[in-house]
Structure 1
Amino acid sequence: MGETIPIAVPRKGRPLEAVLDRLARRLDVPDLADDVTSTLRHEKALTKGTLDPDHPERSVYHRLADYSDVDDPTEPEYTLLRDDRAGKPRRIVFDSVTIPLEEAGPDAGLDGRVPDDTVVQLVGREEPFRALRTHEFALGFDSADLVLEEVVELRPDPVGRIEDVNARIDPAESDVRVVTGLGDTVYHTLMATPDVAPSSGALDREFLESYEGPLCIEPRYERLVRAVLGTRALEGVEFRYPEEGQEEEAAIAETGLGVYLTVTGSTAREHGLLLGEQLFPSETVLLESPPEVSRATAAVRSLLNGPDLETELAVQE
């Protein structure tokens, strides 16, 4: 087996599924994506208690042994993590898998830039972005949110596009850069009750420039909200947070104005909220640590990028 190009990926959830879908399109491995996705969804349902196990007498350790083939690196391996649900049950999550690049289809665009015996190794990490920051990996996938929450400088004007994100990463904080998004997009959206929303004009960043009062957000998104709105728009704004166990849209409805993730916005409307500007796409992104990028790594990066991606984080000309 030739050179191995390790890539840090999330261990579970929508971001990992987006990575697997991308690989299924660029490499001839649809069965791998389906296998991992279905296994993790099944295990999530068991952990949440929304699905009863087929064989209650078999523990999570038995299922882990059934899923993982440690003798064949091209078969996915899994591991156990403590879930944060009540009782902190152990949950099966993705660990690793090796994919030979000889599986790449004719449209992959490698053009002989890497030997046929090169392999890609997906390695599960709880926070892939941080693994790139410490130079453990040259390439990785993680949520764009985490980049904004950790290393993007806060300025008066808002972050809007991918070049804004990269331009605002303090070189003293990190040399990791965003390459592109994968299109699994949900949005951090401004929303308000009818009595707070402007009677004329749009519910957007410009409205916030003149607004003074409370703004409900999730505490974990505070720095992200400051980045995507810009500090100028937040002058006179006081952050409020949902009470423990309170639904975010319900808390925003009580406050009158807020920012939260939306897909269709149906839950927000059920709480009587109007949807405003989509402030920033919460999207899985391909990341690179430039000092670690070799010729083979750059070729793999091109394989994972490509013009077929439909992403809200694409560079706008």
Structure 2
Amino acid sequence: MTATIPVAVPRKGRPLEAVLERLAARMDATEVADEICSTLRYEKAITKGTQTPEHGVYDRLAEYSDLSDPTRPEYTLLRDDREGNPRRVVFDSLTLEDGDLRLQLIGREEPFRALRTHEFALGFDSADLVLEEVVELRPEPVSTINDINARIDPRDTDVRVVTGLGDTVHHTLLGRPDVGEEFTREFLGGYEGPLCISPRYERLVRAVLGTDVLEGIEFKYPTSGREEEADIADVGLGVYLTVTGSTAREHGLRVGERLFPSETVLMENTPEADRDAVRDVKALFAEAEFETELRV
């Protein structure tokens, strides 16, 4: 009998879409991957108030899921913290087969932590979360995905990064022209003053800048409820996720050095991953053609 390999994935958002896109390219899963992405984008739009549904959330959940067909995706409800939206439809599970390989994607709020507790051998999450949770803070910065494993204390966790999926946006240094000409790590080495960052990324920023650079720097946090680029413009210098930097430029900011790639990564719990079937699943995502594959 073909073994089923469970893989922890996020319940929504860019990392889940990156996993589905890679599987669509590797397995006969394009239709179901597109369906899941479309459904979750629609549900996100409802949550944000840009779509008005014709049916209630429980009716939509029943419409999306077909428990009698194991090849169909399943969804569940997640409590949303937005006022007036106490429930949101999110991904729950999907089983895919390809020859002798049987893969079950299982939605988790925190896939990385599910691997840490040995619930799964494999899982996907944002590289950001690995930095925020377990990467050691040192004087030198973490600059690439390849730096991560060397900064994980083996006494702290058995989880390691296998490869990235290339769905990259960057934590980028942004600043007003009157603060500096070029915003780089070298510039920060001589800078003293405020640096605007999201509070949920404080440990990540400490990791990607290095503790030496942070001497004389005071973190400031957005409080206005506006776009974070607007708060960075008020402070003068900051770190924020960017793709093109167009919004930053609209706020009069210069786009500086890309400090770290925010990318979906495949992770393994190394004691749990020493099985042929698990290695077959890893091969779907970590073949040599992918430049982000880690060699450790």
User: What is the TM-score with the length of structure 2 in the denominator?
Assistant: 0.96
SS of alignment partner, residue 131 of structure 1: helix
CA 1:310–1:25: 2 relative to 1, 3 Å = farther
Aligned ranges for residues 76-225 of structure 1 at < 5 Å? Answer: 76-102=73-99, 116=100, 118-198=101-181, 202-225=182-205
Q: Residues 135 and 153 of structure 2 are in contact (CA less than 8 Å); yes or no, is this contact kept in structure 1?
A: yes
2:47 — aligned with what? 47
Identity over the aligned pairs, expressed in percent? 69
Distance 1:163 1:263, change over 3 A: closer
Report the 3-state secondary structure (helix = DSSP H, G, I; strand = E; otherwise coil) of the residue aligned with 2:271. helix
Q: What whole-Å deviation, never above 9, does each CA across 1:138-171 have from its counterpart, x for those lacking one?
A: 0000000000000000000000223321011112
Is the Cα–Cα contact under 8 Å of residues 157 and 229 in structure 1 kept in the other structure?
A: yes
Unaligned runs of 5+ in 2: none
**SS of the residue aligned with 1:238?**
strand
Residue equivalent to 1:71: 68
Structure 1 distance, partners of 2:282, 2:294, is 16
* Aligned positions, number: 295
What's the counterpart of residue 27 of structure 1?
27
Which of residues 229, 234, 237 in structure 1 aligns to 2:214? Answer: 234
Q: 1:54-107 CA deviation, whole Å, 9 max, x = no partner? A: x3xx311111011111122211000000112122431100000110122xxxxx
Where structure 1 has 5 or more consecutive residues not aligned to the other structure, the ranges are 103-115
Distance 1:222 1:306 in 2: 33
CA RMSD of aligned residues (A): 1.5
Q: Which amino acid aligns with 2:18?
A: A
- What SS does the corresponding residue of 1:291 show, helix, strand or coil? coil
* From 230, 233, 247, the counterpart of 1:267: 247
Alignment-derived partner of residue 295 in structure 1: 276
Q: CA deviation at 1:46?
A: 1.6
Q: TM-score, normalised by structure 1?
A: 0.90
Distance 2:133 2:93 in 1: 26
- Contact 1:78–1:93 under 8 Å retained in 2: yes
1:305 Cα deviation after fit: 1.5
